[in-house]
Structure 1
């Protein structure tokens, strides 16, 4: 073991003994492990960091909104309301496509391959 590892372990043990870690969220509960098998390995760390920070990228939020609007369109009986929802979906779709184009994410990149898998699921 290297010195840094031993120091870290000692500090963790000291914090446990002093009770500094007693108020952590989820203490005493089983860990909720996520299935990240659909996320390319090189993107998993970034995905976890952003998720733990509570950050949802705009394109992810737009995709969620587009799915919700699509479901509403399918269930809608009123023709006027249906047209309004279709217009809203189109606006979200254009914004999503503009974001993707702005970032110039190519299909050869890891995210491009992952994006294609996401699109196939929708």
Structure 2
């Protein structure tokens, strides 16, 4: 072990002896381990960072709803029902775009390219 690791270990032991870890939130509760098997290995770190920053919650829900509505439209044979579903899809798309605009993420060309690549990778798997 190098010098930095030794110092870090000593600081951790000192904090434990001082009781600094005794009243942490979640003490005594089991860890929640998230299943990331559906996320490609090279995107898991970015996904975790964005999720912990609460950047994905609204976006994920909207994408999920949009995909469900698109699937319903593809399976629908009734023209009237298809029209209702299309209107619902348009409404969800507007709401989704508003969420993205609030974050100012939709204006960047880099974001658009990156977002497209991520969506293609996720849909492949």
Report the TM-score, using the length of structure 1 for normalisation: 0.59
Aligned residue-pair number: 106
CA distance in 2 between partners of 1:31 and 1:106 (Å): 31
Secondary structure of the corresponding residue to residue 93 of structure 1: helix
CA distance in 1 between partners of 2:92 and 2:119 (Å): 20
Name the residue aligned to 1:104. 113
CA distance in 2 between partners of 1:50 and 1:87 (Å): 30
Is the CA contact 2:40–2:122 (under 8 Å) kept in the aligned structure 1? no
Gaps of 5+ in 2: 71-79, 101-105
Distance 1:50 1:22, change over 3 A: farther
Once the two structures are TM-superposed, the CA of residue 41 in structure 1 deviates from its matched residue by: 1.7
Once the two structures are TM-superposed, the CA of residue 103 in structure 1 deviates from its matched residue by: 0.8
1:114 and 2:88 correspond: no
Distance 1:55 1:19, change over 3 A: farther
1:51 and 2:51 correspond: yes
Is the CA contact 2:62–2:92 (under 8 Å) kept in the aligned structure 1? yes
CA distance in 1 between partners of 2:62 and 2:8 (Å): 41
CA distance in 2 between partners of 1:24 and 1:65 (Å): 37
CA distance in 2 between partners of 1:43 and 1:58 (Å): 19
CA distance in 2 between partners of 1:42 and 1:3 (Å): 32
